[in-house]
Each structure stands twice: as C-alpha cells, then as structure tokens.
Amino acid sequence: MSQPSTLGQASHGIRISAVSKMYAGTSQPAVNDVSLDIAPGEFMTFLGPSGSGKTTMLSMIAGFVALTAGRIETDGRDISRLKPHKRDLGVVFQHYALFPHMTVARNIAFPLQQRSVPKAEIAARVRAALELVRLEQYADRLPRQLSGGQQQRVALARAVVYQPRALLLDEPLGALDKKLRDQLQREIARMHRELGMTFIFVTHDQEEALTLSDRIAVFNEGRIEQVGPPAELYERPATLFVAEFLGESNVFAGVADGQLAVVRPERLELSSRADAVPAGHPQRPALVTDIVYVGNHHRIGLRFADGTSGCAMRVSGAPLPAAPGESVIASWTPAHHSLVADSTTTRTEHQSPVGIG
Ligand code: ADP
Ligand code: MG
C-alpha cells in the first residue's frame, strides 16, 4: 500500500455546463452543448470514436483549449478562463512528455519544485509517488532506460505528485501493446482506489471503458449520447449509437412502433422450432451463417429474413443449438430488449448547430 496521507487529498467534483467548442475555420462544433456533473472521487470515462470531441472536451477542462460557450467549475468556482497551471489538474497524455535529461525522481519532483514545496516534503512525496506506481527501484534511471509502460507510470506519478484536484488522462495506454495495456489498466484502477482522486479518462476502447469506469459518457459528433454506469449503458442503451458502439447487438424493427429493439447476443435464445418459443416472446427466423470459437464462448453468426445480420453467444461447454447453414428461431424475453429511436430520428435531433435554436 502507498501512503494516502502523503499523496491523497479531499476529492473535488467538476461541473460542465452547456460547453461548446467551434474551432476557427470549421463549420461543425467539435463539442456541442455538453453538460455533465462529475462527482468527487468519481472515475469518469469519455468514450467515443475518433473525432467525436473527447480530446477537445478534456483540453477545455485542462485549459489548453478556450471555450466557445458554457462554463466549467470545480467546487463551484468558475475555472473556464484560468490558465492551465492555475486549475490545479493533473494531466497525462498518450505520448509521455518526460524530460529526457532528468532522472525519474527529478521528473517527478519537477512540479513540486515549481510550486516551491520544501525539500524534505519533496523527497517524501516523490518516494510515495514512486511507491504508488511501483517504480521504487528506478528512481535514478533516465526515461530512455525504461520501457514504454514504465515511462507512462512515471508520467502518472508526476501528474498526481502535487495533489491535483483531479487527474485527466487522454488515451494514456493507446501506445502500449495489449498485455501491457491490461496490466496498466489494473494499475490505474488501483491508483484511483488508493488516491480517492477524481479521474477523467478518455478512450475509444469500449472494453477499457467498461472495465475501469464508475460512469461512462458516450461521445458522438461532439455531443454526449448517454451517461451512466457501464452495466446500465450495456444493458439499457438509450440510442442505437450507444448500443452499437458498446459491444455487439441485434437490432430488430417491428417490435414497437417507430422504435427498434436492441437485444444483446447473450440474451438471444435459439430454438429449432417456433412452437418451442414461450408465448409473448418476440421471435425471428434466422440462418446460422458461422460459428466462431472465441475461447470462453462461441459466437454464432446469424442472418435474419430481412437481410440484417446479428449474433448469439454461448459459453463454451454448452450445447450448440445448430450448425452453420441451418435454420433457427431466434427469440428473447421482452424484458431483455431496449427500445431505441431509429437512427434517422436521432440524427435530425442532433444536427442543430451551436448557437442556433
Ligand atoms: P477525439 O479526441 O474524440 O478523437 P477531437 O476532440 O480530437 O476528437 O476532435 C473533434 C473534432 O474537432 C474533429 O472533427 C477534429 O478534426 C476537430 N479538431 C480537433 N482539433 C482541432 C483544431 N485544433 N482545429 C480545428 N479542428 C480541430
Ligand atoms: Mg482524442
């Protein structure tokens, strides 16, 4: 365990109110009327495809990009127009910007020296930060003598050592290979628990978002489509975009008027006969196109009568309901579908530009 008394501090919330960003020379806002309350100590993730406005939103919180409209507060104080270093926020980006000529310990001490922290306290805090990221043995190394993952840990230590109000992380694991990424994910989750600090984490990786977050805000074209805990977003997607961005889904028309029913693969039942489906359960005939073994489960590819494709999931060891090329009846319990507006409706809603209407 590290020493929360040395590095931990009271948590702070962040309130984002009607924030927009229109970059000069562009016609579409990069961030479009975003409002979000981030609770003290929360692990909040901005998830979305490339270009959806995540980095722009995080950069406005950090103070690197000016707001076009709206305000950002920490603890009720408007910080929208403060210089980055006055906001008291820790920042870690994908490309670790460590000082190459300074040792690990001096890199971590740097923000404390800038803040004129007394020498003895600097030593204690650097030690605690090194312990937090498990790099005690590496204090005297230069960045180039470390692996990519270790350099990113140094960046993490340097970002939290001066006890910022919150830690902002923009795809910090994006440059690492899968195994290292998984390992650092667990480290970041542990750091969050030990520090109790507010974290805002940006990623385009849905699995990373589901694993780490207290809540996820799903970004699409500069707007937040939905905010909620991982299970809620997965089980109850509010829009087609959220359903399709987080995991796989089957999308069915004709279940409810003007809406689509979204059914997750593990909720889809497959039977050989229609009369085996319980009364009141929606059902669709399908063709099994392929079955793929994915280690802990089989993914059963389906094509429905209307030409759309989908899939079901069976844990390994469970009997498979059919073979490729065979027909099945797909069905589900109505309680297991989420009704969403179809994408054409969603799109018109989302097209009004900043400052109009
Ligand atoms: P994300 O981090 O989700 O990939 P960004 O915030 O980087 O998204 O980008 C959102 C949109 O803003 C994109 O369309 C991008 O091209 C545009 N954008 C980002 N930075 C600038 C800039 N400095 N000038 C003009 N447009 C920009
Ligand atoms: Mg980005």
Q: Measure the CA dihedral 104/106/111/114, to 10°.
A: -170
Lowest model confidence (mean pLDDT) among 19-23, 170-174, 282-286:
170-174
pLDDT digits (tens, 9 = 90+) for 50-71: 999 999 999 999 999 999 999 9
Average pLDDT over residues 247-271: 93
pLDDT digits (tens, 9 = 90+) for 317-350: 888 989 999 999 999 999 999 999 976 544 444 4
50 lines ligand 1 (CB under 6 A): yes
CA atoms within 13 A on the CB side of 102: 15
53 lines ligand 1 (CB under 6 A): yes
Residues 289 and 161 in one domain: no
Residue 220 has pLDDT above 70, yes or no: yes
Concatenated DSSP letters of 251-267: EEEEEETTEEEEE-GGG
Residues 201 and 267 in one domain: no
Residue 351 lies in a domain: no
Lowest model confidence (mean pLDDT) among 1-5, 85-89, 314-318:
1-5
Pocket probe mutation, ligand 1, options 26, 57, 223, 225, max atoms within 8 Å of Cβ: 26
Contact 90, 168 (CB under 8 A): yes
Q: Measure the CA dihedral 248/210/14/184, to 10°.
A: -130
Residue 56 lies in a domain: yes
Residue 347 lies in a domain: no
- Give the structural domain span for 192: 14-235
Q: Residue 271: which pLDDT band, with cuts at 50, 70 and 90?
A: very high
CA atoms within 13 A on the CB side of 203: 24
Residues 144 and 265 in one domain: no
Residue 182 lies in a domain: yes
Average pLDDT over residues 227-233: 97
Residues 67 and 214 in one domain: yes
Residues 162 and 47 in one domain: yes
Q: What is the pLDDT of residue 165?
A: 93
CATH of the domain at 275: 2.40.50.140
Closest residue (by CA) to atom 23 of ligand 1?
23
Residues 184 and 123 in one domain: yes
CATH of the domain at 126: 3.40.50.300
Q: Of 190, 208, 235, at which residue does a domain stop?
A: 235
250 lines ligand 1 (CB under 6 A): no
Average pLDDT over residues 237-262: 93
Residue 350 lies in a domain: no
56 lines ligand 1 (CB under 6 A): yes
21 lines ligand 1 (CB under 6 A): no
Q: Residue 3: which pLDDT band, with cuts at 50, 70 and 90?
A: very low
Q: What is the pLDDT of residue 264?
A: 96
Closest residue (by CA) to atom 5 of ligand 1?
53
22 lines ligand 1 (CB under 6 A): no
User: Which amino acid, one-letter code, is at 51?
Assistant: G
Query: Mean of the per-residue pLDDT values for the chain?
Result: 91
Residue 57 lies in a domain: yes
Residues 168 and 99 in one domain: yes
Residues 90 and 178 in one domain: yes
Residues 215 and 302 in one domain: no
* Ligand 2 center–CA 57 separation, angstroms: 9
20 lines ligand 1 (CB under 6 A): no
- Provide the number of structural domains found in the chain: 2
Q: Residue 356: which pLDDT band, with cuts at 50, 70 and 90?
A: very low
* Ligand 1 center–CA 168 separation, angstroms: 17
Residue 3 lies in a domain: no
